[in-house]
């Protein structure tokens, strides 16, 4: 019978929180980065959008896109998401800001 320590390398070289997160993220890495950072973005971004939806879809998307992009920046700095995921966060932010400016233009005249 194979023991878990024979399959996964559970040794930590960096015993800090970021070292531990990087180690957990490496277990799901298939060459494009792990999924831990992606799940963090989903767990924060989707409920934030759903909570703010009462203020209107454009406003909720703008705020949740901005906060998700900031969190994506921090996760990219820590190496928990790859560049493609971060670029998608930026595209969502730009799209949501365009919708927000389009909505604000209705009230200017």
How many C-beta atoms surround the C-beta of residue 45 within 10 A? Answer: 19
pTM above 0.85, yes or no: no
CA 5 vs CA 9, 11, 35, 100: distances in Å? 6, 9, 22, 51
What does 46-82 look like in DSSP terms, one character per residue?
Answer: HHHHHHHGGG-HHHHHHHHHHHHHHHHHHHHHHTSS-
**DSSP 8-state code for residue 107:** T
Question: Could you read off the pLDDT of 42-77 as tens digits, one per residue?
Answer: 999 999 999 999 988 888 888 898 899 999 999 999
pLDDT at 94: 92
How many C-beta atoms surround the C-beta of residue 109 within 10 A? Answer: 4
Least confident segment among 21-25, 53-57, 90-94, 103-107: 21-25
């Amino acid at each position: 019978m194979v023991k878990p320590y024979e399959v996964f390398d559970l040794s930590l070289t960096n015993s800090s929180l970021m070292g531990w997160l990087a180690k957990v993220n490496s277990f799901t890495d298939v060459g494009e980065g792990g999924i831990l950072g992606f799940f963090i973005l989903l767990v924060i971004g989707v409920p934030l959008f759903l909570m703010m939806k009462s203020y209107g879809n454009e406003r909720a998307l703008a705020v949740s896109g901005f906060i998700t992009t900031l969190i994506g920046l921090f996760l990219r700095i820590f190496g928990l998401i790859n560049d493609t995921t971060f670029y998608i966060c930026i595209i969502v932010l730009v799209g949501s800001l365009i919708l927000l400016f389009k909505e604000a233009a209705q009230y200017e005249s």
